[in-house]
């Protein structure tokens, strides 16, 4: 492809689905440059140690020739909101639209493909511009499956939900860990106890 | 959000009745948790059906990926 082109990730869900399925590399299979708006990147990775976060960071660093983080004004606003403890919901998609507009403005022949979450792309009206195409995570995987590049779309989605389920279980166990509860009780008792003389 | 409500929303999402955007609006805004809830219920994330307001752009997208894969097949 000779014209300027970008596959823009509009939301955390494709990244999180693929990273939990250990399948982020499928994004590289079409050989298209991938742009991840800063707000999407931050939303997916800001909690260090959260499921998939470290893997996403490592994957991007391992593929800097194909994957880039796009700085946006929305990303700056997101930082401010995080500092102030305000909601950042929906900012990933807004940042993607900002990244798209800048990219299309940069060159009249530029074309972009937006990667969306499936239910959103089916029901919510997205950008209408002849130079912009859309694809969902599921549609993307189905194309790879049809080309014989992955075992099956369902297999990847099942792996993602299985890992998500394990994460949820670990959280539940963590929330009900008796050792942690004892430690918490001990700390509360110590906090409430009168200071001892030295 | 109570567990019953979370389960009901997740089922609606898996069935394609509500969007990820709606889930976020209703307070389920961590996609890893959504995947976990789907796994717990034995469900999968929905795959977009061939309908809705973006069909032309989605059709272009699939063609684009198909062509790119042809060029980059090992």
Please identify which residue in the block is written with the tokens 């014989």. A148
Distance CA A13, CA A17 (A): 6
CB A75, CB A108: distance < 8 Å: no
Select from B29, B40, B60 the Cβ nearest to the Cβ of A168.
B40
Distance CA A34, CA B35 (A): 24
Which is it for strands A67-70 and A132-136: parallel, antiparallel or unpaired? unpaired
pLDDT of residue A135 exceeding 60: yes
Spatial CB neighbours of A63, under 8 Å, sequence gap ≥ 6 = A28
- Looking at the DSSP bridge assignments, the partners of residue A5 are A111
Distance CA A165, CA B44 (A): 12
Q: Which of A197 and A130 is assigned the larger pLDDT? A: A130
Give the model confidence (pLDDT) of B25-64 as tens digits: 999 989 999 999 999 999 999 999 999 999 999 999 999 9
pLDDT of residue A73 exceeding 80: yes
CB A4, CB A106: distance < 8 Å: yes
ipTM: 0.94
Picking from A9-13, A100-104, A146-150, A183-187, which range would have the lowest pLDDT averaged per residue? A183-187
Q: Which of A78, A80, A36, A77 is nearest to A59 (CA)?
A: A36
Q: What is the pLDDT of residue A191?
A: 65
**Contacting residues of A for B68, CB less than 8 Å apart:** 1, 30-32
**Contacting residues of A for B18, CB less than 8 Å apart:** 119
Radius of gyration of chain B from Cα atoms?
16
Mean pLDDT, rounded, of chain A: 89
Distance CA A74, CA A97 (A): 10
Distance CA A84, CA A20 (A): 30
**Contacting residues of A for B34, CB less than 8 Å apart:** 164
Helix pair A137-146, B55-72: axis angle to 10 deg: 40
The SS3 assignment for A101 reads helix
Q: What is the pLDDT of residue A185?
A: 72
Q: Which of A190, A16, A6, A193 is nearest to A117 (CA)?
A: A16
Contact flag A17-B24 (C-beta cutoff 8 Å): no
DSSP track, B15-52: TTSS-HHHHHHTT---HHHHHHHHHHTT-------S-S
126-155 in A: which are within 8 Å (CB) of B? 126-128, 132-140, 142-144, 146-147, 149, 153-154
């Amino acid at each position: 492809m000779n014209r300027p082109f970008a596959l823009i990730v509009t939301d955390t869900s494709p990244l999180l689905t693929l990273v939990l399925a250990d399948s982020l590399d499928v994004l590289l299979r079409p050989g298209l440059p991938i742009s991840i708006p800063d707000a999407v990147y931050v939303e997916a990775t800001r909690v260090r140690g959260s499921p998939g976060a470290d893997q996403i960071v490592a994957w991007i660093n391992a593929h800097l020739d194909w994957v880039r983080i796009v700085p946006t004004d929305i990303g700056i606003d997101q930082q401010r909101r995080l500092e102030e403890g305000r909601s950042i919901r929906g900012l990933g998609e807004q940042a993607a639209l900002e990244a798209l507009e800048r990219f299309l403005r940069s060159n009249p022949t530029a074309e972009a493909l937006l990667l969306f979450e499936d239910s959103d792309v089916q029901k919510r009206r997205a950008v209408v511009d002849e130079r912009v195409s859309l694809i969902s995570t599921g549609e993307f995987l189905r194309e790879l499956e049809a080309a014989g590049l992955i075992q099956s779309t369902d297999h990847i989605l099942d792996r993602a939900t299985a890992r998500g389920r394990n994460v949820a279980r670990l959280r539940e166990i963590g929330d009900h860990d008796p050792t942690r509860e004892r430690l918490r009780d001990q700390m509360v008792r110590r906090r409430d106890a009168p200071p001892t003389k030295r | 959000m109570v567990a019953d409500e979370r389960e009901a929303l997740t089922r609606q999402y898996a069935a394609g009745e509500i969007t990820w955007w709606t889930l976020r609006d209703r307070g389920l805004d961590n996609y890893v948790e959504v995947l976990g809830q789907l796994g717990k219920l034995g469900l999968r994330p929905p795959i977009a059906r061939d309908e809705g307001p973006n069909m032309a752009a989605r059709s272009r997208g699939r063609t684009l990926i198909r062509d790119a894969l042809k060029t980059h097949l090992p």
